[in-house]
Structure 1
Amino acid sequence: MGKIFLAAALIVVVVFATYEKKAVYASENFRDGKFHNLTETPTGISGNKLGSIYRILFQSGKFSPKETIKAHRINPAYAVSNTEGQLQAVWLGHASVMLKYDNLKIITDPVFSERVSPFSFMGPKRFSDINPIEGTDMGFIDAVIISHNHYDHLDEKAVKALKDRVGMFVVPLGVGEYLKEWGVDPLHIVELDWFGSLSMPDIKITATPAQHRSGRGYFDGNKTFWASWVIELGGKRVYFSGDSGYTDIFGNIGQTYGPFDLALMDIGAYNSKWPYSHMTPEQAVQASVELGAGLVLPIHWGTFTLSEFHWKEPADRFTAEAEKSGLKYVVPEIGQPFTVGGYNPTARWWDNYK
């Protein structure tokens, strides 16, 4: 019981470290001062969730790697190179991916902080030894897409490092306020409701539904929106799930915007205590099939401890289910580039760690 009270006390600290957003949005998904999923799902923190939060914060050693994961250092010359009509991608860890097509470059959910937490001294810590690339080595970035405002997706350190080299930050409704506070020019921020789009030369980015939630404290729960994303680069299509539970939205998105050359799919952070917010690895495979994904890069795993399973479990379960279903996938090491339609890295690199 004492552990539960300690976790509750830490949540109270976060409550007073954040603020309540009171904006009103002209969105059919915004009602009673909050954003809503297409299907109403439970929100809030209950007693059984507090136990899980405590174990994630203070007993993460039983879930995390026993040794530091080695990430590849990306050559700055690669970051600014022309892909000559090929769609290439680099997993930067967690939900962060660098997408490249010709001279175009898009980054999803960049996170440079060592911990994804309101505190620098505690909270989920990065497994890898380095960030694959520093912001100063990325060159010009056409767009940064941020899926929602949770700490493992919206990172102040990354935003500040990238803000002067990004053409446009593309975010769900309400998230732009954080960027403005961190020094991003409002002219370089676009907030989108679901089904809203931003068009740029050879790029189109569309916000699509996700089943999730938002908040960086207690009082700001669901005050800003969350989204998945359809990304069109030249003639290629990429789907970025952000964070989402499994629903029928994937089939609808696939029918409307698919098929996709590449899908970036959330496979981690699932928990029976919050089944509506994150897919299981098996559900991620099913969602990928419904999307019409030609190739899948599993994300949101292997970087931070965010639930109560051994860190290898998401990849083990996803690859096993993908093999059964015949789904094509890649599992590159952090910082390892690959070309869609080219060589697909499928070696089980995580087996080299405990």
Structure 2
Amino acid sequence: MSNSKDLTATQEIIENVAPKVRKGMMKKIMIYLFTFLVLICVFIFLFITINPVFGGNPSKEQKEVYSKFKNYADGKFFYEGSTKFNGNESNISISTSARKVRNPSGQVPVSEIDWNKINSKEDSLTWFGHSAFLLSIDNKKILIDPMLGPIASPVSFVGSKRYSEDMLDMIEEMPPIDAVFITHDHYDHLDYQSIKKLKSKVGHFFVPYGVSNHLIRWGVAKEKITELNWWDETESHGLTIALTPTKHFSGRELFNRDTTLWGGWVILGKQTRFFTSGDGGYDAHFKKIGKKYGPFDIALIEGGQYDRRWSWAHMFPEQSVQANIDVKGKYMMLMHWGAFTLANHGWTEPIERALKAAKKNDVNLIAPQIGETVQLDGRLYIPVSSWWKN
């Protein structure tokens, strides 16, 4: 009987104590988990704050200036307006590739840079892949979105790697650069390593509002930077310059989305009228740009990283061709492809779809090889060699 009573008492003790033990253990686990999450958050905050690659943020004084803009509200820039793509966007497939090859099988070759052509007084354009270009206009050397680094990411271990070797060493061979134009602050357009290496040989930087904070943190003198809002115009180096709207967004880290502006660029010289769209979805602003500044001798149109999920922020190639028609581009070049994989379609699909749409719409689409220099002499013509198939 005694043993039975002892066993019953022990069971009662276990039944009473076990829930308290479990509760205590769960409480400790929750404390440990909360502490771990707090430490992770602190680490991320310190990493973003200390690491210069993330750039800088607009000051309180700058935000007060922005608050007077029509395209700024509640601490963020925004695009207003929406136009369907001729009612046919629902018919545009995400991918036409039977077998999507998202990355090239080997390194994409870069044509040998013809520095003699670039350094000549003739207007010319050289593509470095994705949205990076060197424009020679009125004997002025201009870089557009000079992302020449190896990876489109703030860290080396995560992100899309360049199809070819990085082009940072090429900066040393470049002539003095009169101006750099940045369309927005995303990593595949504004590259920390490239700017650090370029800044000593650049005369001036033209950027959308807010982007100057990144450059200043990276050592670019404030007086060497001009910021513009959409439709703002300025004169520099004998050129007429204007920032144009795009339907896109900005941001380099978790908490600063849309705190800086984005856009495309109009650059008008004596002989060449140049336009680069920047990133963005199709909308009515292209016709407005064409009406105000067109026709353009050459128009660089984004259309190489698309998906239905972000069709508001990036164009399908067919839309890119329509955008070129809207801005009245005599010749068109597709950009935002050929260097990085940022979407789920085949890496050559953008140019193949654009060529098909261009032929259908009688648009002069050129497709030079990366590194090749195109002369902008009024007789612009480059046979499409389909170099990407090799």
Normalised-by-shorter TM-score class: 0.7 to 0.9
1:205: how far off? 1.3
Contact persistence 1:245–1:279 (CA under 8 A): yes
* Residues 1:148 and 2:184 are matched in the alignment: yes
Q: TM-score, with normalisation over the residues of structure 1? A: 0.85
Unaligned 5+ residue runs, structure 2? 1-39, 49-53, 84-99
Residues 212, 334 of structure 1: alpha-carbon distance in 2 compared, 3 angstrom cutoff? same
Q: Which amino acid aligns with 1:263?
A: A
Aligned to 1:27: 69
Structure with greater proportional helix content: 2
Given candidates 213, 230, 235, the residue that maps to 1:199 is 235
Residues 151, 67 of structure 1: alpha-carbon distance in 2 compared, 3 angstrom cutoff? same
SS in 2 for 1:93: coil
Q: Find the aligned partners of 2:309 and 2:248 in 1 and give their Cα distance.
A: 14
Alignment of 1:184-263 (within 5 A): 184-263=220-299
Given candidates 17, 26, 39, the residue that maps to 2:81 is 39
Aligned to 1:47: none
RMSD: 2.3
Q: Which amino acid aligns with 2:108?
A: I
1:255: how far off? 0.5
1:170: how far off? 0.3
Q: Which amino acid aligns with 1:92?
A: F
1:271: how far off? 0.9
Q: Find the aligned partners of 2:189 and 2:337 in 1 and give their Cα distance.
A: 13
Q: Find the aligned partners of 2:211 and 2:366 in 1 and give their Cα distance.
A: 31
Unaligned 5+ residue runs, structure 1? 1-8, 42-60
Q: Find the aligned partners of 1:258 and 1:138 in 2 and give their Cα distance.
A: 30
SS in 1 for 2:266: strand
1:267: how far off? 1.1
Residues 91-129 of structure 1, C-alpha deviation per residue, up to 9 Å, x if partnerless? 111101111134211110001210010111221000013
Contact persistence 2:149–2:166 (CA under 8 A): no
Q: Find the aligned partners of 1:39 and 1:251 in 2 and give their Cα distance.
A: 13
Moved over 3 A (4+): 12-16, 18-23, 75-79
* Identical residues among aligned pairs (%): 37
Moved more, 186-195 or 13-22: 13-22
Residues 122-180 of structure 1, C-alpha deviation per residue, up to 9 Å, x if partnerless? 21000013529711211111211000000000111111111121121000000001000
Contact persistence 1:173–1:193 (CA under 8 A): yes
* Residues 1:79 and 2:118 are matched in the alignment: yes
SS in 1 for 2:167: coil
* Residues 1:69 and 2:108 are matched in the alignment: yes
Contact persistence 1:35–1:225 (CA under 8 A): yes
Contact persistence 1:210–1:249 (CA under 8 A): yes
Aligned to 1:293: 329
Number of residue equivalences = 321
* Residues 1:282 and 2:318 are matched in the alignment: yes
Alignment of 1:96-175 (within 5 A): 96-131=132-167, 134-175=170-211
1:21: how far off? 4.3
Contact persistence 2:150–2:165 (CA under 8 A): no
1:241: how far off? 0.5
SS in 1 for 2:300: strand
* Residues 1:334 and 2:370 are matched in the alignment: yes
Q: Which amino acid aligns with 1:178?
A: H
Aligned to 1:307: 343
Contact persistence 2:168–2:194 (CA under 8 A): no
Aligned to 1:57: none
Moved more, 112-121 or 279-288: 112-121
Q: Find the aligned partners of 1:339 and 1:301 in 2 and give their Cα distance.
A: 21
Q: Find the aligned partners of 2:309 and 2:116 in 1 and give their Cα distance.
A: 44
Aligned to 1:343: 381
Residues 20, 88 of structure 1: alpha-carbon distance in 2 compared, 3 angstrom cutoff? closer
